[in-house]
């Protein structure tokens, strides 16, 4: 696992180095530097609204509203920050989310909510990409870009549909029964309880499920406004429709390259290719990627700070009680 993580990081850095060498470091960095200054902090603000909307999507992944909204926001900030830094699969961040919620909901419900939210955000991502493909066809962009988006859409639909099927059909407990043959009875009991919670949610809470998908889709659409703002800061003349295509492609690439920490290298490559196909130039795509990474670093830092403060309060809690 560690070897694969290291390989993913090295591969991402290698792709990034090749892009910088081919596209041109000076042009991309110069464009980014011109975009910074007093306006630089503005590019970090829209993500706060996106985070709030996505948190509402997670809130409706519970059968009942039992967790304070700010607690959910803090859990999401810390978890997503850790997910970006975790290779292979975003398991570490999800475990942090469950840890954040332990004073308010039982372990089984918090785990189920994370799984449901992962499902609804993936389904909404597929819908978002479908909208992006529609805009790409309307703008008559390069056919190769449209073809790539269609293939990514197929991958997302298969992934999201399979993930939902596993939960609805109760396949987790079936897999755990195999482990039970080797003495892993605790794993079987936990899987069966989780299956019951998930199946109960999908059968009885379909309204909350639809609201969760809707709020996550709204979060993706708000990401289009953020992309448009980045383009304006970089002084790239692009419409909201063009920003829609760029953001949809980027979201699909992040889904397909989940095993790479932060989709490092892959996302930059997709942006440079997309910007070149849209007529803005590969340098503009690399500059956009750099600016997006700067925003990401800021929010990773904030999420890490939330995690440190939460752990500090958890350590002090027993002493205060005593």
Task: Spell out the per-residue pLDDT of the chain, length 322, in tens.
Answer: 556 556 666 666 676 666 666 565 555 555 555 555 555 566 778 889 999 999 999 999 999 888 999 999 999 999 888 877 765 444 577 888 988 998 888 888 888 999 999 999 999 999 999 999 999 999 888 888 899 999 999 999 998 888 888 888 766 655 545 444 444 445 445 667 788 888 889 988 999 999 999 999 999 999 999 999 888 888 888 899 999 999 999 999 988 887 777 777 888 888 888 998 898 888 888 888 888 888 888 888 899 899 888 888 777 655 433 3
Does any domain span residue 290? yes
Q: Which of 168, 172, 215 is nearest to 190 (CA)?
A: 172
Instruction: List C-alpha distances in Å: 192 to 63, 94, 176, 203, 320.
Output: 18, 20, 8, 16, 38
- Joined tokens for residue 293: 């990474």
Confirm whether 181 is domain-assigned: yes
Asked whether residue 124 is assigned to any structural domain, the reply reads yes
Tell me, yes or no, whether 19 lies in a domain: no
Determine the structural domain holding residue 284 and report its residue range: 31-316
Q: What is the pTM assigned to this prediction?
A: 0.84
pLDDT of residue 131: 96
208 close to 56: Cβ distance less than 8 angstroms: no
The reply to whether 151 falls in a domain is yes
Does a structural domain hold residue 322?
no
Q: Is residue 16 part of a domain?
A: no
How many structural domains does the chain have? 1
Asked whether residue 255 is assigned to any structural domain, the reply reads: yes
């Amino acid at each position: 696992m560690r070897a694969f993580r290291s390989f993913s990081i090295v591969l991402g850095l290698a792709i990034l180095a090749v892009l910088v060498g081919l596209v041109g470091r000076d042009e991309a960095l110069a464009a980014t530097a011109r975009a910074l200054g007093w306006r630089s902090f503005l590019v970090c603000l829209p993500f706060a609204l996106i985070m709030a909307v996505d948190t509402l999507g997670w809130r409706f992944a519970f059968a009942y509203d039992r967790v304070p909204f700010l607690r959910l926001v803090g859990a999401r900030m810390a978890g997503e920050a850790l997910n970006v830094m975790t290779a292979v699969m975003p398991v570490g961040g999800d475990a942090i989310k469950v840890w954040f919620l332990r004073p308010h909901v039982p372990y089984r419900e918090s785990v189920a909510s994370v799984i449901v939210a992962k499902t609804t955000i993936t389904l909404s991502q597929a819908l978002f990409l479908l909208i992006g493909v529609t805009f790409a066809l309307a703008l008559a962009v390069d056919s190769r870009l449209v073809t790539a988006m269609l293939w990514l859409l197929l991958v997302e639909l298969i992934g999201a549909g399979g993930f939902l099927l596993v939960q609805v059909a109760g396949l987790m407990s079936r897999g755990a029964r195999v482990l039970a043959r080797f003495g892993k009875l605790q794993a079987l009991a936990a899987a069966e309880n989780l299956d019951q919670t998930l199946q109960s949610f999908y059968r009885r809470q379909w309204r909350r499920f639809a609201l969760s998908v809707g709020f996550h889709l709204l979060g993706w659409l708000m990401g289009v406004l953020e992309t448009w703002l980045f383009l304006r800061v970089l002084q790239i003349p692009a419409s909201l429709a063009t920003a829609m295509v760029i953001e949809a492609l980027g979201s699909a690439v992040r889904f397909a390259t989940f095993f790479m920490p932060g989709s490092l290298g892959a996302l930059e490559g997709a942006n440079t290719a997309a910007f070149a196909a849209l007529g803005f130039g590969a340098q503009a795509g690399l500059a956009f990627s750099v600016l997006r990474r700067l925003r990401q670093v800021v929010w990773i830092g904030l999420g890490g700070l939330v995690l440190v403060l939460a752990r500090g309060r958890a350590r002090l809690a027993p002493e205060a009680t005593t």
